[in-house]
Amino acid sequence: MRALHTAATGMMAQELNVQVISNNIANMRTTGYKRQRAEFQDLLYEHVRRIGTQTSDQGNILPVGVDLGSGVKTAGTPRIMTQGNLLPTGRDLDVAIRGEGFFKIQLPDGTFAYTRDGSFEMDNQGRLVTAQGNLVQPGITFPTNASSVTINAQGQVSVTVPGTTTPTVLGQLTMTRFINKAGLQPIGDNLFTETPASGTPQDGVANTDGMGDLQQQNLEQANVEAVTEISDLIAAQRAYEMNAKVVTATDQMLQSTSNMMR
């Protein structure tokens, strides 16, 4: 019976749904994390009696037909790229983006990745790096005697060197935007890479060309909302159970059929 397989597609889809939700909940406190959502679509239909078929020479047509669907499929798990809340941390090297754009990060193999996670560090050579030690673009190196780091809304990094009163500008953080930021590929470590779906990266600086501005001593929190995730989780679990019931019902019917033979 078709119902068995249809219910199986439903159970598989809900299992994936729970997987996506659990990943969102697991990353609730991950800086710069963007929540994902599982999207579903119905599968092909078998048109047993096609709507609009002519049923007589007088031109009568079927007003309704018999369409049998074959279940559900996962269309995708797109990311919802809305702004997360800013959390003040008081740390000089924490930067949050308010608005569009990503920080540009150089990976060890020379290629670039993009992130919304602005919890930067200084490495042993005084360079501005991510928590994994990847260079933040463009390379910014702090002098050894520098103090009081300032990163302004446009992304200019400046420090005060002993003996001078005016701050020295060390560089301006590169910001990148994409026409379809939901099409970026996540590679873990809060990093994304460019794909054919995202479009080509457009480099620029904060506060120009629709790029967001930067907030020093803040971090962007994940845009996961606990209430939404939990209610989605409940819905997914119930949907899974109902599909399991369909399997049971089909099984019962098949059983009563086979019991007819004694």
- Going by their DSSP bridges, the two strands 213-216 and 202-204 should be labelled as unpaired
- Nearer of residues 52 and 90 to another protein, judged by Cβ: 52
Mapping DSSP to helix (H, G, I), strand (E, B) and coil, where does residue 142 land?
A: coil
Number of other CB atoms surrounding residue 181 within 10 Å: 19
Mapping DSSP to helix (H, G, I), strand (E, B) and coil, where does residue 79 land?
A: strand
What is the four-CA torsion angle of 157, 178, 39, 68, rounded to 10 degrees? 180
- Looking at the DSSP bridge assignments, the partners of residue 202 are 177
- Nearer of residues 150 and 208 to another protein, judged by Cβ: 208
- State the minimum distance, in angstroms, from the CB of residue 171 to another protein: 22
- Nearer of residues 27 and 250 to another protein, judged by Cβ: 250
- State the minimum distance, in angstroms, from the CB of residue 72 to another protein: 4
DSSP string, 26-46: HTTT-TT---B--EEEE--EE
- Nearer of residues 83 and 217 to another protein, judged by Cβ: 83
- Nearer of residues 51 and 169 to another protein, judged by Cβ: 51
- Nearer of residues 93 and 239 to another protein, judged by Cβ: 239
Q: Which residues contact residue 180 at a Cβ distance below 8 angstroms, ignoring those fewer than 6 apart?
A: 197, 198, 199
- State the minimum distance, in angstroms, from the CB of residue 149 to another protein: 27
Environment class of 46 (CB within 10 Å of its CB; exposed 0-12, middle 13-18, buried 19+): exposed
- State the minimum distance, in angstroms, from the CB of residue 144 to another protein: 38
- State the minimum distance, in angstroms, from the CB of residue 164 to another protein: 33
Q: What is the DSSP letter of 89?
A: -
- State the minimum distance, in angstroms, from the CB of residue 181 to another protein: 9
Number of other CB atoms surrounding residue 232 within 10 Å: 18
